[in-house]
Structure 1
């Protein structure tokens, strides 16, 4: 690893590196259209963070900060698409990018941050608990769109 490890916001210029990193999250995912990329990066309240080792993107997550009318009008955050390059796992990069996203949510006056995972591996759950998340606070339910017919 180089000595220059940094976390920063990702933008449209980082899409190729981000999509390559996402192959370590969901191998074989179809790439988004250029229009989808533009929509995602233009969406207010949605930020993508990347941890770089020199010029290489090695970990990422995104944070959506959602306006809210409960909790005194304080927003809440949702972290998704947490991924670390397979060659860099177990070195604290994923935890660093998640902690960065959480700090950004607190800076935007969010009252909570939610993260869900489809992973069934207890080691993954323990990782999120080390990042400060609790699995006993809420229960998540998911519904997926029906397959296009």
Structure 2
């Protein structure tokens, strides 16, 4: 897979990223690929925040994967900095190719480069295939998550 480039996302990547976010049963319920304005507004906020890293995987000029990495300074764990991986998506044509592993490895490597002592991620309780994937990469299910919609 030497033809793969993982790089920071640019605004021109947003349609492809949103399409991948919407390309599953959960995403289809919450994403709106026909209206990119809120995504472009969010992208500008991400670009302005040095702790946010929206990355894309590109093969032959096509965006085939994405994730967001957030660097979180903290006081717990003796002032440890941690990272949070979110929005991991691989284009349907690339699933099973090892691209997801490469994206997560990029996130772990970037977390180390940023001085993080811990990499965290959450996965919807219904995404059992994703849970097995993360466990194969060395992540452990350690917490119960809670959300409050506002």
TM-score normalised by the shorter chain: which range applies? 0.7 to 0.9
Superposed CA offset, 1:70-108 (max 9, x none): 333221010001111111101100111011011100111
1:6 aligns with 2:10: no
Distance 1:122 1:143, change over 3 A: closer
1: distance between equivalents of 2:22 and 2:45? Answer: 21
Distance 1:78 1:3, change over 3 A: closer
TM-score by length of 2: 0.84
After TM superposition, the structure 1 stretch with the greater mean CA deviation from structure 2, 102-111 or 122-131, is: 122-131
TM-score by length of 1: 0.84
TM-superposed deviation, 1:131:
1.9
Give unpaired runs (5+ residues) of structure 1. Answer: none
Match of residue 132 from structure 1:
138
Give unpaired runs (5+ residues) of structure 2. Answer: none
1:113 aligns with 2:119: yes
Superposed CA offset, 1:101-131 (max 9, x none): 1110011111101111004243321111122
Instruction: Report the count of equivalent residues.
Output: 143
Q: Does the Cα contact within 8 Å between 2:72 and 2:82 map onto a contact in 1?
A: yes
Q: Does the Cα contact within 8 Å between 2:7 and 2:56 map onto a contact in 1?
A: yes
TM-superposed deviation, 1:61:
0.9
Match of residue 18 from structure 2:
19
Q: RMSD across aligned C-alpha pairs, in angstroms?
A: 2.0
2: distance between equivalents of 1:60 and 1:40? Answer: 14
Equivalences for residues 14-53 of structure 1 within 5 A: 14-25=13-24, 26-27=27-28, 29-30=31-32, 31-33=36-38, 34-53=40-59
For the residue of structure 2 that corresponds to 1:62, the secondary structure is: strand
After TM superposition, the structure 1 stretch with the greater mean CA deviation from structure 2, 14-23 or 91-100, is: 14-23
